[in-house]
């Protein structure tokens, strides 16, 4: 069975996803699926190749790998696309371009897998309901904790009732705070995060707590079945945390962490000083951790929260689950 996909965005995450498709070709072959990427859409490149874009070449350069097109909406409407893989960087002001692209895909009968947080943090219920209306798949594991199944846990435990969510949901800020404990200034820690690819050139979304808040909204809507948006979160970031504050916490056998927490109608992201008996005390570096309070007790998940390959794996795992869902395998 041939499945055709359009990739939106082909930066570090998009290329890492392409690499995973190449390396895991046998996994798809085992479930009798030939997965072809026929379209790649970026700010600079708009490529379509009906026979499939050669991903082993695309990872290095997109030149001369397909025909140029003008309208992505036309491609989705006319080229028999089965999956939209959304790796776009979308605005936390309005969710664009991901918001409109996801809607267009669903309205054209295309399944969607996204790692873009902003569209879901701003328009979660609308997009989920549209997918249901069109009887299409919308998966988004890669938006929260990358490949660690913070979102897909609900699928594994379908009767789970979550009363409270608490976690460290941003790898960049956790890395910076860890480095500050090691003696780095805030500025030096941020520079190191950028050098290692954990922080963007403009890291304000991470530093100001917006990224953590977006992930918290997605988790809260997923597990509480609500319609929260970013505007429902009280947000404080780490931009005002000084080296002196970190040193003082260390002296008192404590650590400062950016903690996201959600209960019904109470969503908060803020730096907190944690004692060494707190479950999040030992979550260091780029690692993330989330705790769910459920009717079965507390469930804890921990894993890397930054890095292109980890995020790409979240999308790849969603793809495999989607294919199994479609073909009941």
Q: List, by residue number, the catalytic residues.
A: 215
Helix, strand counts (H, E) of the chain: 13, 13
Structural Rg of the chain based on CA atoms: 20
Positive or negative, the CA dihedral 122, 124, 125, 131 is positive
Q: For residue 108, what are its two tokens?
A: 């054209």
For 255, the 3-state DSSP assignment is strand
Contact between 180 and 316 under an 8 Å Cβ cutoff? The reply is no
Count of alpha carbons within 13 Å of 217, Cβ hemisphere only? Answer: 25
User: By the 8 A CB rule, do 272 and 239 touch?
Assistant: no
The encoded tokens of residue 55 equal: 């991903």
Please provide the distance, in angstroms rounded to a whole number, between the alpha carbons at the two ends of the chain: 13
């Amino acid at each position: 069975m041939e499945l055709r996909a359009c990739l939106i965005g082909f930066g570090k995450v998009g290329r890492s996803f392409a690499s995973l498709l190449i390396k895991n070709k046998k996994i798809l072959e085992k479930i009798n699926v030939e997965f072809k990427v026929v379209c790649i859409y970026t700010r600079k490149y708009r490529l379509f190749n009906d026979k499939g874009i050669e991903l082993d070449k695309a990872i290095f350069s997109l030149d001369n790998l397909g025909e140029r097109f003008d309208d992505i909406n036309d491609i989705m409407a006319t080229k028999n696309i089965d999956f939209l893989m959304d790796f776009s960087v979308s605005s936390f002001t309005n969710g664009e371009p991901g918001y409109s692209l996801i809607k267009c895909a669903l309205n054209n009968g295309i399944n969607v897998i996204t790692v873009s947080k902003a569209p879901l943090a701003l328009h979660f219920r609308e997009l989920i309901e549209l997918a249901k209306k069109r009887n299409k798949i919308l998966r988004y594991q890669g938006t929260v904790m990358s490949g660690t199944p913070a979102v897909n846990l609900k699928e594994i435990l379908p009767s789970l009732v979550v009363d409270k969510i608490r976690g460290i949901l941003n790898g960049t800020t956790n890395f910076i705070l860890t480095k500050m404990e090691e003696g780095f200034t805030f500025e030096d820690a941020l520079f190191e995060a950028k050098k290692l690819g954990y922080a963007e050139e403009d890291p304000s979304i991470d530093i100001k707590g917006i990224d953590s808040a977006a992930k918290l909204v997605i988790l809260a809507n997923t597990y509480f079945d609500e319609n929260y948006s970013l505007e429902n979160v009280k947000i404080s970031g780490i931009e005002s945390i000084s080296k002196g504050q970190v040193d003082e916490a260390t002296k008192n056998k404590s650590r400062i962490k950016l903690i996201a927490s959600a209960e019904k109608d109470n969503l908060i992201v803020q730096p907190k000083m944690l004692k060494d008996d707190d479950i999040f005390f030992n979550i260091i570096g780029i690692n993330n951790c989330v705790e769910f309070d459920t009717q079965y007790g507390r469930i804890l998940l921990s894993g890397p929260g930054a890095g292109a390959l980890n995020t790409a794996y979240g999308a790849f795992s969603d793809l495999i689950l989607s294919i199994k869902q479609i073909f009941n395998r």
